[in-house]
Amino acid sequence: MGRITVHRVDDVLVATIDTPGRLNAWTRAMRADLIHILERELKTDICSGAVITGAGEAFCAGQDFHEVATWEADTPWVDEIHDVYARLLQLDKPVVAAVNGVAAGSGFQLALLCDHRVAHAGVRMGQTEVRWGLASVVGTWFIERSLGASKARELALSGRLMEGEELLATGLIDTLAAPGQVVPAAVQACRKLAANPAASFRITKRWLYQNMAADMARVFRQAADAHRAGFDSGSSQQGADLFLHRKPA
């Protein structure tokens, strides 16, 4: 049902997560498509960088729970997400998140993996897994790296979503734009990053993320164990069912 669509704004690739009716929740196949597209397109001379955004009024609500409901304990989705994240960090050209609505769970993590984040004041971002039967390990680690242990504890255990002004104040968002101007502002930010000498940008970006890679691998191993325990206990399946049958707000 969901897909990744692409278009170019001159030299900048815009990749859009598009899952109608599900706040652009994404699947295993969509994650694979996104990283394949970015790797292929950013190798070409025509692309100076990429913007990732979501269709309509959401960025990405994280994992599609319709797919979670079909998983077994040994479904290798944690390893697959680790592979996508590691490859995203290895992209030499700038990647900017244009956050145009809710970014939750792995959608929030995707935004944090980008080199720059643009949003509008009405966005909501955070880790909601604990509310829906899934362990919040990787996302909590991302928050802890950015905001410290105390804030990570508060956000992970509550499942609370942060909003635009708080996100800007904490540094999780770099630029606030008007609601209809998030993608154009992200394209502009991408071009500004790409205007730096390619070699110095590449070397600096690699250093920044090399120091993160080994620790991220450790956290993903822990996440795999945690999610396996969740499936063994039945909590993950119950959470998916609860989410799918929740009443609209």
pLDDT of residue 139: 92
pLDDT of residue 244: 55
pLDDT of residue 247: 46
pLDDT of residue 238: 56
pLDDT of residue 234: 63
Q: Choose among 125, 116, 103: nearest CA to 205.
A: 116
pLDDT of residue 69: 79
Structural domains of the chain sorted by starting position, each given as residue range(s) with its CATH number in brackets: 3-181 (3.90.226.10)
* Residue appearing with tokens 């994992």: 63
Q: Choose among 223, 248, 184: nearest CA to 63.
A: 223
Q: β-pairing, 49-54 with 3-9?
A: unpaired
**Residue numbers in the chain where pLDDT is lower than 50:** 242-243, 247-249
The pTM score is: 0.90
> Collapsing DSSP states into helix, strand and coil, what is residue 48?
coil
pLDDT of residue 132: 77
How far, in Å, are 46, 180, 200, 208, 214 from residue 211 at the CA level?
Answer: 30, 36, 17, 6, 7
Burial of 11 (0-12, 13-18, 19+ CB in 10 A): middle
pLDDT of residue 127: 93
pLDDT of residue 248: 45
pLDDT of residue 164: 86
